[in-house]
Structure 1
Amino acid sequence: MKHVITIMLYLSAQFICAQTAVEQTVHDKLSPAVSAKINRYVGEKFNASYENRILAQDVHTLVHPFTVRDEYRCWQSEFWGKWFTSAVLAYRYNPTPILADKLKEAVEELITTQTPDGYIGNYAPESRLGAWDIWGRKYCLLGLIAYYDLTKDPVALEAAAKQADCLIRELAEKNVKIVRMGNHRGMAASSVLEPICQLYVRTGDKKYLDFAEEIVREWETPDGPQLISKADIPVGKRFPKPERNNWYGWEQGQKAYEMMSCYEGLLELYRLTGKEDYKKAAGQTWQSIMDTELNIAGSGSAMEAWFSGKGLQTTPIEHYQETCVTVTWLKFNQQLLRLTGEAKYADAIEQTFYNALLGSMRPDGSDWAKYTPLYGQRLKGSEQCGMGLNCCNASGPRGLFSIPLTAVMTAEKGIYINFYMDGSYELMTPAKRTVTLLQKTDYPLSGQIDIQLNLQKEEKMDISLRIPSWSEKSTVTVNGSLVENVVPGEYIILSRTWKNNDKISIEFEMRGKIHTMYTNPTYTAITRGPIVLARDERLKGAALEAILTPVTNENKYIDLTLNDHSDAGIWMVFGAKFIPESYAEYGAEPVETELCDYASAGNAIAAYPFFKVWMPQLYDPRK
């Protein structure tokens, strides 16, 4: 019987959508692809994480704390849900019997720990609701609901409902506000809003919608994080900075990961209610993060909190760019992209994915860095809570596997191509026919992408191509005919009757761009397309500590020459000309120095090479 269930799961997973009991007020503009198969470098990263992190995880280790239930302050209970939701995304990308068995085992083993009152967690009875207890319950809910969506197993949904009922009942019986529970002005605990909204959609039980609205009401009380009323305040300045010894306590209202998790839940509630204030607050917060926190690699935070860090990114920063923050920023953008179909969210995802996210993953996919600086080393994170892994090991693949089925998505009038990755994508057309879209490209190594449509029958629809904001000059052709009005930072909508084997060709401008931070001293960094480039002590050229000024051409770009460095396990290496510091009056001649992609910089299996993104420039008192 187990074998039969596994095969059914294996065959059907890619075609299952969430079974809903209520109609949402607001529908997403974009829906995931039916399936995807991605090749080349990015495909190898998916495969590495699948084999060496997802399948390698011992399920019993994750479930064990739920059988002990003696905790009072730690967060062991989040690891099951983080790994499990990662594994469900991985399974949707690559459904195999071995992962189906692992998912089934993980759910069944977790459900056996549920107490008669519905509790699934690792906290002692007298410590329930405190510290990270509700946070851990949230991750259990997310995992159980994800499994229900995948399999339609009613036992998983029933267990999730009992878990939610237990939480609602305990809060009422103890007459406490959820925003006073746990850490970070209640953001950790009240981020349970996301699965509570999901549970309402799948059960139709209005008590979950009522609870969701109560959570948001409590946000706006003096005790709450005021995530709506303070949405127009920069995320790093919403509350006074807590004392050093209470940095991770209740007073910390700038905790980045938890804050964005709450906004993910608020967007789920917006879909249910249509209340524009919810969407507006999420959008304002997104813009604040972009304007005041996000660094050149597409992430941020220090000591896991927002700190107005955008302008400080050239300095060495303690506990910089936590991977959990990177993943949640990416997921927040995925929510907004699905909801709105706006190109700026896809641009942000691409920046984060190729740089901060891939940079936090070890080359073989087995491990994820806890913090990833822009200068220094990518060091291994320590394990947490006696679990043999840490939060970022468990969370990293959640960001990674959110990409495949959102690279190409469907909309009411056709197809959106968000990300350019060599592979095949199966989708449904507006007429409900299957279409396979093939991308042939080595992007972002080059800017050339060739797309072919395999259609069952010719059909009139839109195909929307994202034109990245960094590509100032882009060329698009359809069956050899040039497309006009291609605008950076927007989708170009190709509306026509499409036929089998129609072809689209795209060429993006992949020039080396100089970015300058006018601090003291001034710093420069270099990007090429979506890729941040970095110096690495393994590469040829001047010493890492040398002061180098980029040599620019007549158009103020830096010329980059692709060099082969595959033997060092580095994805991209470019040679470029720089003027070194000189003590001679007439200056120095240019020297060639190599740079590599940020994700590869300092990222090695057996060593921790030093690297840097931002390069200090000589101070010139004449300027």
Structure 2
Amino acid sequence: MQKAFIVKITSGFNYYMSKINVRSGFLLLVISVLFITSCTSTGKEKTVKVEAMERPVKISAVKNITGFFGHRMDVNRKNYLETFPIDKYVDFIVKREHTDWNWTQAEQHGKWVESAYLSAIQSDDQALLAKAKDVLDRIIASQEESGYVGATARDFRSAERPVRGMDPYELYFVFHAFMTVYEETGNEEALNAAEKLAGYFLEYFGPGKQEFWPSDLRPPENIRHKLAGTSQFAGHSVHYSWEGTLLADPVTRLYELTGKQKYLDWSQWVVSNIDKWSGWDSFSRLDSVADGKLGVDELQPYVHSHTFHMNFMGFLRLYRITGDESLLRKVTGAWNDINERQMYITGGVSVAEHYEHDYVKPLSGNIVETCATMSWMQLTQMLLELTGDVKYADAIEKLMINHVFAAQAAEEGICRYHTPPNGTKPNGYFHGPDCCTASGHRIISLIPTFVYAENGKDFYINQYLASDYEGDAFKFRINTTYPETDKIELAIVSEDPVDKNLMLRIPSWCKTPEVKLNGNIIREVTSGTYLQLSQKWKKGDMVEIRFPMEEKWITRAHHSDYTMYYLPGGEHMYREVPTEIIPSAFMRGPVVYALDMFWNTQLDASADLNKDIRINTSVLPVPVQKQDDKMLGPVYETKGFLRGKEVKLVLTPFVNIGQWTRTDLPDPDRHSSAYTYGIWLNHM
């Protein structure tokens, strides 16, 4: 609109100048340029070439989330965010004496501020909001004149060494915290702090300045060279520069908010140098992944999942701004490869923090890192917004229903570093604070941003959570215990009629979806699409949705046993070992079940799931009453054998594994492996 307005003004101005017979074409040019410049906004504006198909609604409009997910979000807010000793970590930043390699202390303030603001705004928790603002004010007040606001000591930094190796990763989250606060509250100080921080990196990194080299090697010596150890500017050397280049994501977001060309130029410079810095042409070869000629794991010797996701989000922002289709193609190609080969049944990703070859996905150990869960979910949401492809919303649902809250301790709210499909507990939940404890509470705080979206008259229901939507005019309530039950009711509560296209996600896993509008059956409801219901919605209108869920045993595809080996830096890698024992898992619709010894009180707690228990997959489990009102159901009972003796086994949704305290038993030692659990079970 602005460009068209300027063209019309300029044309009229030139016509006017011709009428007064200006002899100097040069003078006319100068005056015209000055006039155009005066008409062109220099304020904060989004400069976007590719419009999103969907735009998430404001988090403040998503109210009263109830049921299992609402309860766990309350646990995250009340039991973790409100009690977390954030002042200790802000003190660490304010003192600014850090010179060690460790990054876990210095990433807490950014993640906590963003999480606390989002959770407080969504729940209208004024006490937490006030605390978050105080913390934010302290962080901003500590910002150096140069713009630096990390933990690294001033006397450690210089023009030749402006950052500590993990600074880019740590400050990535500070950038996003500042910008999220600005977007949600309009706090100009937060945006100014983000710009000052960007100024620090633009001052020291760029053409003719420092670069994000992962080692001391330079071309051609670094080409196809395997690295280990640490980098002065780009995190772990084994990440081959991607732990520095990830800053293209927040700096590009800053361009979207301000329209300042220098941020776009810098981000494009960063991305254009990934091939050179990595030594493996890792960026360019993403095209081969999109072509199906390479797996994403083959881009370089070690592909760190979380780091790659963060970079991919930067690529998508650049696509949105520039319209460069090759960027979208690279990211969707990688996403498709990961989705096909490296995603677990629960929607989780990452094997010992990285992507492996072929279908290598061990069942236990350091599997499904919470940091990778967070960035994978954000990346998937960004692809949904850009493309409107339901498959991305389906992937988010799978992850949210199964793995996000399985990583969270049901009472304490702390999140695990890794949450393997088959493992032990409570050992693994108590650690840190570290990267994953912070990422866990951040992704839970972000969940309301994944639920509803809009674009003009189109309003999208992407996730079915029991909640209220309170827009300016359009308002409704979703009543459901989904996915515990398969029924969802959407009741319009707007006072005045509102003309909207209601876009209902119909999940691809559901074979026989059913939808009624005010009691009338909607024909041709197709799985894996959006169902559009268009009318002037009035108070009392009701949409009834049912997603029947198939109950079935799943035999694990591409199953192997594994042996582990290590890279020089200690990173875990895997080799396949053939096995004739192929396990199975039980699913109900999108819900993945586990045999959790915590809920199987009738069994010997010392039983080893792999050695002692066999299940009978020739019969389907039958529903039984769930043991706890706070758990997600339904619960099933199935037949099996314990050391050859027939027994009844209780199967519960995997998401419930964060429970380990019972009123009838003393609490286990927090670092013990008191209970075993497993999705994948050996059968007769």
Output the CA distance in 1 between the equivalents of 2:544 and 2:213: 52
Q: C-alpha deviations, 1:539-565, integer Å up to 9, x for none?
A: 34666431112234xxxxx34313220
List aligned pairs for 1:510-521, cutoff 5 A.
510-518=549-557, 519=559, 520-521=580-581
2:383 corresponds, among 325, 336, 342, to: 336
Deviation at 1:383, TM superposition (A): 8.0
Secondary structure of the equivalent of 1:526? strand
Cα separation, partners in 2 of 1:439 and 1:70, compared to 1, 3 Å: closer
> Which stretches in structure 2 are left out of the alignment for 5+ residues?
1-42, 215-232, 560-579, 662-666, 669-673
1:437 aligns with 2:476: yes
Could you tell me which residue of structure 2 aligns to residue 249 of structure 1?
none
Letter in 1 for 2:67: R
2:110 corresponds, among 81, 89, 99, to: 81
Q: C-alpha deviations, 1:106-149, integer Å up to 9, x for none?
A: 22111222223221112231554342012122222112222222
Output the CA distance in 2 between the equivalents of 1:382 and 1:68: 29
1:415 aligns with 2:459: yes
List aligned pairs for 1:307-318, cutoff 5 A.
307-308=356-357, 310-313=359-362, 315-316=363-364, 318=365
The number of equivalent residue pairs is 567
Cα separation, partners in 2 of 1:234 and 1:88, compared to 1, 3 Å: farther
1:266 aligns with 2:315: yes
Deviation at 1:570, TM superposition (A): 3.8
> Which stretches in structure 1 are left out of the alignment for 5+ residues?
1-18, 241-251, 429-433, 553-557, 619-623
Could you tell me which residue of structure 2 aligns to residue 320 of structure 1?
367
2:440 corresponds, among 352, 372, 396, to: 396
Could you tell me which residue of structure 1 aligns to residue 589 of structure 2?
529
Secondary structure of the equivalent of 1:363? coil
Letter in 1 for 2:584: T
Cα separation, partners in 2 of 1:103 and 1:538, compared to 1, 3 Å: closer
Answer yes or no: is the 8 Å Cα contact 1:570–1:600 preserved in 2.
Answer: yes
Deviation at 1:365, TM superposition (A): 4.7
2:624 corresponds, among 534, 546, 562, to: 562
1:458 corresponds, among 497, 505, 516, to: 497
Could you tell me which residue of structure 2 aligns to residue 245 of structure 1?
none
1:427 aligns with 2:471: yes
Larger Rg: 2
Could you tell me which residue of structure 2 aligns to residue 431 of structure 1?
none
Secondary structure of the equivalent of 2:356? coil
Deviation at 1:62, TM superposition (A): 1.9
Secondary structure of the equivalent of 1:420? coil
Deviation at 1:348, TM superposition (A): 0.6
Answer yes or no: is the 8 Å Cα contact 2:367–2:419 preserved in 1.
Answer: yes
Output the CA distance in 2 between the equivalents of 1:266 and 1:290: 19
Answer yes or no: is the 8 Å Cα contact 1:575–1:592 preserved in 2.
Answer: no
List aligned pairs for 1:29-108, cutoff 5 A.
29-34=53-58, 35-36=61-62, 37-66=64-93, 67-75=95-103, 76-108=105-137
Cα separation, partners in 2 of 1:130 and 1:272, compared to 1, 3 Å: same
Output the CA distance in 1 between the equivalents of 2:163 and 2:207: 12
Answer yes or no: is the 8 Å Cα contact 1:29–1:412 preserved in 2.
Answer: no
Could you tell me which residue of structure 1 aligns to residue 414 of structure 2?
367
1:201 aligns with 2:256: yes
List aligned pairs for 1:164-203, cutoff 5 A.
164-172=198-206, 175-180=209-214, 181-182=233-234, 183=236, 184-203=239-258
List aligned pairs for 1:465-614, cutoff 5 A.
465-518=504-557, 519=559, 520-540=580-600, 544=609, 545-552=612-619, 558-566=620-628, 570-572=631-633, 574-578=635-639, 580=641, 592-601=648-657, 603-605=659-661, 606-607=667-668, 608-614=674-680
Deviation at 1:602, TM superposition (A): 5.7
Deviation at 1:312, TM superposition (A): 3.0
Could you tell me which residue of structure 2 aligns to residue 14 of structure 1?
none
Deviation at 1:228, TM superposition (A): 4.5
Output the CA distance in 2 between the equivalents of 1:48 and 1:579: 35
Secondary structure of the equivalent of 1:64? helix
Output the CA distance in 2 between the equivalents of 1:172 and 1:30: 34
Could you tell me which residue of structure 1 aligns to residue 49 of structure 2?
25
Cα separation, partners in 2 of 1:564 and 1:216, compared to 1, 3 Å: same
Cα separation, partners in 2 of 1:125 and 1:346, compared to 1, 3 Å: same
Q: C-alpha deviations, 1:247-278, integer Å up to 9, x for none?
A: xxxxx3x1010100111111112111111111
Q: C-alpha deviations, 1:378-416, integer Å up to 9, x for none?
A: 4444888xxx51111111122112222432222223211
Deviation at 1:303, TM superposition (A): 2.0
Deviation at 1:59, TM superposition (A): 2.8
Percent of residue pairs bearing the same amino acid type: 25
Comparing 217-226 with 480-489, greater Cα deviation is found at 217-226
Q: TM-score, normalised by structure 1?
A: 0.85
Secondary structure of the equivalent of 1:47? helix
Q: C-alpha deviations, 1:192-226, integer Å up to 9, x for none?
A: 11110121122222111100100110123363662
Could you tell me which residue of structure 2 aligns to residue 9 of structure 1?
none
Deviation at 1:346, TM superposition (A): 0.9
Cα separation, partners in 2 of 1:468 and 1:20, compared to 1, 3 Å: farther
Q: C-alpha deviations, 1:76-95, integer Å up to 9, x for none?
A: 32211111221222133123
Answer yes or no: is the 8 Å Cα contact 2:81–2:116 preserved in 1.
Answer: yes
Cα separation, partners in 2 of 1:539 and 1:161, compared to 1, 3 Å: closer
Could you tell me which residue of structure 1 aligns to residue 295 of structure 2?
234
1:125 corresponds, among 133, 150, 157, to: 157
Cα separation, partners in 2 of 1:212 and 1:383, compared to 1, 3 Å: farther
Deviation at 1:44, TM superposition (A): 0.8
Deviation at 1:325, TM superposition (A): 0.9
Answer yes or no: is the 8 Å Cα contact 2:316–2:331 preserved in 1.
Answer: yes
Output the CA distance in 1 between the equivalents of 2:68 and 2:677: 22
1:153 corresponds, among 175, 187, 197, to: 187
Answer yes or no: is the 8 Å Cα contact 2:613–2:643 preserved in 1.
Answer: no
Q: C-alpha deviations, 1:258-312, integer Å up to 9, x for none?
A: 1001111111121111111111111111111101110011112222111147543
Could you tell me which residue of structure 1 aligns to residue 343 of structure 2?
294
List aligned pairs for 1:339-354, cutoff 5 A.
339-354=386-401
Answer yes or no: is the 8 Å Cα contact 2:81–2:112 preserved in 1.
Answer: yes
Secondary structure of the equivalent of 2:321? helix
Answer yes or no: is the 8 Å Cα contact 1:377–1:602 preserved in 2.
Answer: no
Output the CA distance in 1 between the equivalents of 2:555 and 2:213: 41
Deviation at 1:509, TM superposition (A): 1.1
Cα separation, partners in 2 of 1:20 and 1:335, compared to 1, 3 Å: farther
Answer yes or no: is the 8 Å Cα contact 1:83–1:395 preserved in 2.
Answer: no
Cα separation, partners in 2 of 1:155 and 1:344, compared to 1, 3 Å: same
1:357 corresponds, among 383, 404, 419, to: 404
Answer yes or no: is the 8 Å Cα contact 1:470–1:529 preserved in 2.
Answer: yes
Letter in 2 for 1:538: F
Letter in 2 for 1:136: E
